[in-house]
Amino acid sequence: MKDDNCIFCQIIERKIDSKIIFENEKVMTFLDIFPISRGHMIIVPKNHYLNLEDIPDDDLAEVFKIVKKMAKLIHEKLNLDGYNVLQNNFTAAGQVINHFHVHIVPRSNNDNRFKLKIPRIPANDKELNYTLELLKG
């Protein structure tokens, strides 16, 4: 499954040059050309899936097996303080390329690249119960 208009499919097919870090029969990892930090990489399944809802479980498991391997690699080789593993779905969540992919973004304690801000005001029980009913109902 490929999409000729997809930039990641074109990278996988070697129609677009990329800096490949790792590859096997199901997954490819390459450096992001718009890196947030040095070592920012993208992990993609070689088959074209739009997002998390679209990818079969076996391919998803293989992708995340490689995510773990690449995370260990960059942590060791780039001497990082940490890293983010990001996976966006649909435009509202920041997905730009409609091919399932995972970012690993190297981080240092003092960088100001981006911060995840989690609200510190708890939801009330009524809101939580309503959401729970929607999801379970």
Give the Å distances, CA to CA, from 19 to 29, 31, 113. Answer: 9, 6, 22
- Domain membership flag for residue 82: yes
Model's pTM, two decimal places? 0.92
- Domain membership flag for residue 2: no
| Residue of 40, 48, 101, 103 with catalytic role | 101
pLDDT level of residue 115 (50, 70, 90 thresholds): confident
Check if 101 is active-site: yes
- Domain membership flag for residue 1: no
- Count of domains observed in the chain: 1
- Domain membership flag for residue 67: yes
Give the Å distances, CA to CA, from 31 to 18, 21, 76, 121. Answer: 7, 7, 17, 37
Domain holding 125: CATH number? 3.30.428.10
Interval 52-70 mean pLDDT: 98
Show the domain range for 81: 7-136
Question: Quick one: which of 105, 56, 59, 114 has its CA closest to 78?
Answer: 105
- Domain membership flag for residue 65: yes
Tell me how far apart the alpha carbons of residues 75 and 71 are, in angstroms, rounded to a whole number. Answer: 6
| Torsion sign over Cα 1, 93, 16, 44 | negative
pLDDT at position 113 is 82
- Domain membership flag for residue 13: yes
pLDDT level of residue 114 (50, 70, 90 thresholds): confident
Interval 57-77 mean pLDDT: 97
What is the DSSP-derived secondary structure letter of residue 127? H
| Torsion sign over Cα 32, 36, 39, 41 | negative
